[in-house]
């Protein structure tokens, strides 16, 4: 930690300046300690409200299950998510019955997005989970469930170039349009995963608004006001 004490690298300040610098340093330490306490208290508030919100999110998920194709409709109506959905993926997402976003208990360390699926012709998993966590270096990293694709159904393989062409560009990654499952399985830059952020910060807080819009634009009046 920083201190204005004398040491190898100390410059020659006069005694009064040196004393003032040490006192500034002490002040700065008090300010830093208060900043840390503020962060801790804010974290506690966030944790408290995460707990309070949880039963409503669970209730909401139960209700959503009653509505056929709720999630695929919301995803198709969301401008950024629909942009990465290809036709077969859209078909696949008809089997998506539940979405959950969970922040880790200490919030800052990460979150996970869970996709629950019915029996479907594409893969054997019931739950696909993509998870973001701060690595030991402090940088965000992601990992996701290995998808057990059924024979010939691997949707991440539909957009790859033929092997010959891949070989030609061997030093570059082959050009591959970004799709939902290529997003899900990509961990190249977890610190800039815009789709995960859109799901966590925009879709999850209010999926109803995206289910209700028929166009790409959000209709602020929703289903029409009651009065």
- The contact set with Ca ion (CB under 5 A) reads 2-3, 222-223, 225
Using CB under 8 A, which residues numbered 10 to 39 contact a copy of itself? Answer: 10-11, 16-17, 20-21, 23-25, 27-28, 30-32, 34-35, 37-38
DSSP state of 91: H
Q: In the complex, what is the shortest distance from the CB of residue 55 to Mg ion, in angstroms, rounded to a whole number?
A: 15
Shortest distance (Å) from residue 50 CB to a copy of itself: 9
CB of 15 to Ca ion, least distance (A): 18
Nearer to Ca ion, 205 or 222 (CB): 222
SS3 state of residue 10: coil
Smaller CB separation from a copy of itself, 58 or 189: 58
If the CB atoms of residues 50 and 120 are measured against a copy of itself, the closer one turns out to be 50
Which of 132, 90, 98 is closest to 115 using CA atoms? 98
Q: 72 CB contacts (<8 Å, ≥6 apart)?
A: 90, 93, 94, 96
- For the CB of residue 136, give the shortest distance to a copy of itself in the complex, in Å: 20
**Single residue of 76, 97, 140, 226 touching a copy of itself by CB under 8 A:** 226
The SS3 call for residue 4 is coil
**Cα end-to-end span (Å), the chain:** 61
Assign residue 189 a region (left: φ > 0; alpha: ψ between -120 and 50; beta: otherwise): beta
Q: Is the dihedral of CA 87, 88, 89, 90 positive or negative?
A: positive
Question: According to CB under 8 A, which residues from 47 to 106 bind a copy of itself?
Answer: 48-49, 52-53, 56-57, 59-60, 63-64, 66-68
201 binds a copy of itself (CB under 8 A): no
The footprint of Mg ion (CB under 5 A) covers 61, 64, 98
How many residues sit close enough to a copy of itself to count as binding (CB under 8 A)? 57
User: Cα–Cα distances in Å, from 5 out to 30, 31, 195, 198?
Assistant: 16, 18, 48, 48
Within 10 angstroms of residue 196's Cβ, the number of other Cβ atoms is: 21
Q: How far is CA 80 from CA 16, 61, 132, 176, 198, in A?
A: 60, 22, 20, 18, 8
Residues in contact with a copy of itself by CB under 8 A are 1-11, 16-17, 20-21, 23-25, 27-28, 30-32, 34-35, 37-38, 41-42, 45-46, 48-49, 52-53, 56-57, 59-60, 63-64, 66-68, 205-206, 208-209, 212, 214, 219, 221-226
């Amino acid at each position: 930690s920083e201190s204005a004490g004398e040491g190898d690298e100390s410059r020659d300040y006069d005694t009064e300046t040196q004393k003032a610098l040490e006192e500034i340093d002490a002040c700065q330490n008090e300010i830093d300690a208060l900043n840390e306490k503020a962060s801790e208290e804010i974290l506690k508030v966030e944790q408290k409200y995460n707990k309070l919100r949880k039963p409503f999110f669970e209730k909401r998920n139960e209700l959503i299950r009653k509505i056929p194709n709720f999630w695929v409709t919301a995803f198709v109506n969301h401008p950024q998510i629909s942009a990465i959905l290809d036709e077969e993926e859209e078909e696949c997402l008809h089997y998506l019955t539940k979405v959950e976003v969970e922040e880790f208990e200490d919030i800052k360390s990460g979150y996970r997005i869970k996709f629950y699926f019915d029996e479907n012709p594409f893969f054997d998993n019931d739950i696909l989970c993509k998870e973001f966590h701060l690595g030991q270096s402090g940088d965000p990293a992601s990992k996701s469930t290995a998808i057990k694709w059924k024979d010939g159904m691997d949707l991440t393989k539909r957009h790859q170039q033929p092997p010959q062409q891949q070989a030609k560009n061997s030093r570059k990654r082959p050009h591959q349009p970004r799709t939902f499952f290529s997003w899900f399985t990509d961990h190249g830059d977890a610190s800039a995963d815009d789709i995960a952020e859109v799901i966590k910060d925009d879709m999850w807080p209010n999926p109803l608004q995206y289910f209700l819009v028929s166009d790409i634009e959000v209709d602020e009046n929703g289903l029409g006001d009651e009065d």
